[in-house]
């Protein structure tokens, strides 16, 4: 170990671990972390937005600590684990002469910095990407059953972290087509599929809800060059900060002299190309390309060791990056130092404002899968996100959390209410009102699917199926139906109420069954709608996300 990890390396590693543990303890959660904490309250092989690795990490952290560190402990460990594995990936004795340069390079990368203590799906994605390259290198050096088994397990862990991991595996295979004829490579694939099968079964059992959402259901908007494509190029700079020029230069100047280097280059440029093409369809978020930090860190450090000028510039500009990032890290805790109001600011305060007025009753947040878990984390009281037609589905749409608040007295919180029984202001000055509802009854899991669309819609009759997935009867009298009009980007334009009757003139929807319903299309024009779907309002609540889209001819 002493040969692999000199004392100064271990000192740096220990410093970053201590720094991240302190940061993890002192910093309030961001909204996404609270959402993944909510995942971990009910461990499963899958969740609406992501595979389950992030929930497993939080569940393990909670074994040892409470509060914020009980969410982030494993991220702190994986953060230094990622640094360690990247170090092992660099095969040259010369690396020991420039250990401070190594840590400056890694610590200057903004998101690599952040994912050293924040618990997000990208945290395990980065660690297992680094580990995947290490096991792949070992596999190349000594292909056999043992290394194939290990490679397969790491690939499964990578896919359990985030679906984007598929791109890493795909581009590595693309870099080495001979793997197609390697029986040990196929053994690795088989092992990974077996290890990943619980999540695949979960997807099947949940109607591939995650895949459908990410690939087909996610709303979009018209192409905007400045926000989509130009924004993508700005993200390429943001990933590395002030060192971006020399890091990209190192990648472009590195020849593919061996299979590992070839894999590093294929993953780096393959992902950059993939999301460049994607930028012509939708806005690319910075964290989507974060995985390139692993191969590019290896390529850049290798290049630094051989080119003194680049080494000096990355070290200098890296220190500036670190100075800025350390200032921002302090600002995450001490609000006046941060340039803007951020998610880690004031969460305990707004939660306390609600509980001081509402007590311990459950709180239902309209259209906020972010506020609901944050409230529950800091208050300990039950919460629920009621998602309507103008929002999106999330974990609250598919789990059993609705049952915790149904038929109870709740506080219903929304930014769209004109007034309320209580009010509070978020740190960003957004005003929210809350009203008491007793009893609260929602049936957001009801599903509708249009069966037929006549060629002439105005005033014509159409049919749809209404499915009740609950284990109890749902009264039709509590439901109102509407026809939602969507544009070509799947954005709702408006909802038109429609009168419906059931085929058998039923008044109740039996548990676990579907009934046929009929309605008339509105006589008014459909405003050039591209898609339509039937949505439901229960007991006066805003229209839900019930319907399956149907394209108009």
Give every strand in the sheet of 547-548, ordered side by side. 500-502, 514-520, 461-467, 447-452, 547-548
Measure the CA–CA gap between 373 and 449, rounded to whole angstroms. 31
Straight-line distance from the first to the last Cα atom of the chain, in angstroms, rounded to the nearest whole number: 67
pLDDT tens per residue across all 553 residues of the chain:
557 899 999 999 999 999 999 999 999 999 999 999 999 999 999 999 999 999 999 999 999 999 999 999 999 999 999 999 999 999 988 999 999 999 999 999 998 889 999 999 999 999 999 999 999 999 999 999 999 999 999 999 999 999 999 999 999 999 999 999 999 999 999 999 999 999 999 999 998 998 888 887 777 788 888 889 999 999 999 999 999 999 999 999 999 999 999 999 999 999 999 999 999 988 899 999 999 999 999 999 999 999 999 999 999 999 999 999 999 999 999 998 888 899 999 999 999 999 999 999 999 999 999 999 999 999 999 999 999 999 999 999 999 999 999 999 999 999 999 999 999 999 989 999 999 999 999 999 999 999 988 776 667 888 999 999 999 999 999 999 999 999 888 889 899 999 898 877 788 999 999 999 999 888 877 767 889 999 999 999 999 999 888 888 7
Tracing tokens 């419906």 back to the chain, one arrives at 500
- The DSSP symbol for 228 reads T
What per-residue string of b and e applies to 233-252 under the rule 16 or more CB within 10 Å gives b?
A: eebbeebbbbbbebbbbbbe
**Where do the structural domains in the chain lie, given as residue ranges?**
7-335, 347-440, 447-551
Q: Mapping DSSP to helix (H, G, I), strand (E, B) and coil, where does residue 468 land?
A: coil
Q: What is the rounded CA–CA span in Å between residue 413 and residue 379?
A: 15
Half-sphere exposure of 180 (CA within 13 A, CB side): 6
Which of 448, 446, 501 is closest to 473 using CA atoms? Answer: 446
490: left (phi over 0), alpha (psi -120 to 50) or beta: left
Residue carrying the six token digits 């990410």: 214
d(CA 107, CA 441): 50
Nearest to 159 by CA among 291, 39, 53: 53
- Tokens 């002030």 label which residue? 242
Q: How far apart are CA 377 and CA 319, in angstroms?
A: 36
Cα gap 128→115, rounded to integer Å: 13
Q: What is the pLDDT of residue 502?
A: 80
Structure tokens at 234: 């700005």
pLDDT of residue 488: 86
CA angle 469, 475, 480 (to 5 degrees): 95
Secondary structure, 3-state, 178-221: HHHHCHHHHHHHHHHHHHHHHHHHHHHHCCCHHHHHHHHHCCCC
CATH of domain 447-551: 2.60.40
Element at 480 (helix H, strand E): strand 479-486
Q: pTM of the prediction?
A: 0.94
């Amino acid at each position: 170990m002493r040969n692999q990890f000199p004392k100064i390396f271990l000192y740096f590693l220990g410093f970053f671990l201590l720094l991240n543990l302190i940061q993890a303890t002192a910093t309030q959660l961001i909204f996404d972390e609270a959402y993944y904490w909510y995942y971990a309250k009910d461990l499963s092989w899958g969740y609406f937005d992501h595979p389950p690795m992030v929930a497993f990490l939080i569940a393990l952290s909670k074994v040892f600590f409470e509060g914020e560190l009980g969410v982030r402990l494993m991220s702190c460990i994986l953060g230094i684990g990622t640094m360690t594995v990247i170090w092992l990936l660099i095969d040259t004795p010369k690396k020991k002469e420039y250990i401070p340069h190594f840590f400056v390079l890694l610590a200057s990368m903004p998101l690599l910095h952040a994912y050293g203590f924040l618990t997000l799906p990208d945290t395990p994605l980065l660690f297992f990407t680094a580990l995947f390259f290490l096991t792949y290198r070992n596999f190349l050096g000594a292909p056999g059953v043992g290394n194939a088994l290990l490679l397969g397990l790491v690939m499964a862990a990578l896919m359990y972290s985030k679906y984007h991991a598929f791109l890493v595996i795909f581009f590595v295979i693309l870099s080495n087509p001979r793997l197609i004829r390697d029986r040990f490579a196929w053994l690795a694939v088989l092992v990974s599929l077996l290890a990943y099968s619980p999540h695949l079964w979960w997807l099947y059992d949940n109607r591939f809800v995650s895949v459908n959402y990410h690939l087909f259901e996610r709303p979009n908007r018209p192409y905007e060059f400045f926000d989509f494509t130009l924004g993508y190029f700005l993200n390429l700079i943001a990933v590395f900060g002030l060192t971006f020029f020399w890091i990209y230069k190192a990648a472009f100047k590195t020849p593919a002299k061996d299979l590992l280097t070839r894999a590093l280059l294929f993953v780096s440029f393959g992902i950059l190309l993939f999301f460049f093409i994607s930028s012509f369809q939708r806005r690319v978020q910075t964290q989507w390309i974060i995985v390139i930090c692993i191969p590019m860190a290896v390529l850049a450090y290798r290049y630094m060791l051989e080119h003194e000028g680049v080494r000096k510039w990355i070290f200098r500009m890296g220190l500036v990056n670190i100075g800025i990032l350390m200032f921002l890290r302090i600002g995450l805790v001490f609000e006046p130092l941060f340039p803007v109001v951020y998610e880690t600011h004031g969460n305990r305060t707004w939660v306390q404002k609600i509980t001081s007025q509402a007590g311990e009753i459950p709180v239902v947040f309209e259209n906020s899968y972010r506020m609901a878990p944050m409230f529950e984390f800091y208050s300990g009281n039950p919460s629920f996100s009621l998602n309507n037609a103008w929002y999106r589905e999330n974990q609250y749409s598919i789990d059993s959390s609705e049952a915790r608040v149904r038929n109870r007295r709740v506080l219903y919180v929304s930014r769209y209410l004109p007034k309320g029984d209580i009010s509070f202001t978020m740190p960003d000055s957004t005003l929210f009102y809350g009203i008491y509802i007793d009893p609260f009854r929602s049936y957001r899991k009801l599903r509708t699917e249009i069966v037929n669309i006549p060629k002439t819609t105005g005033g014509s009759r159409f049919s749809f199926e209404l499915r009740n997935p609950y284990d109890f009867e749902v009264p039709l009298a509590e439901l109102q139906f509407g026809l939602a009009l969507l544009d070509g980007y799947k954005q709702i334009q408006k909802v038109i109420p429609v009168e419906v009757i059931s085929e058998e003139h039923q008044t109740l929807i039996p548990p676990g069954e579907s009934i046929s319903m009929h309605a008339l299309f509105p006589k008014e024009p459909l405003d050039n709608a591209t898609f339509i779907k039937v949505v439901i309002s229960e007991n006066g609540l805003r229209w839900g996300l019930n319907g399956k889209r149907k394209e108009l001819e």
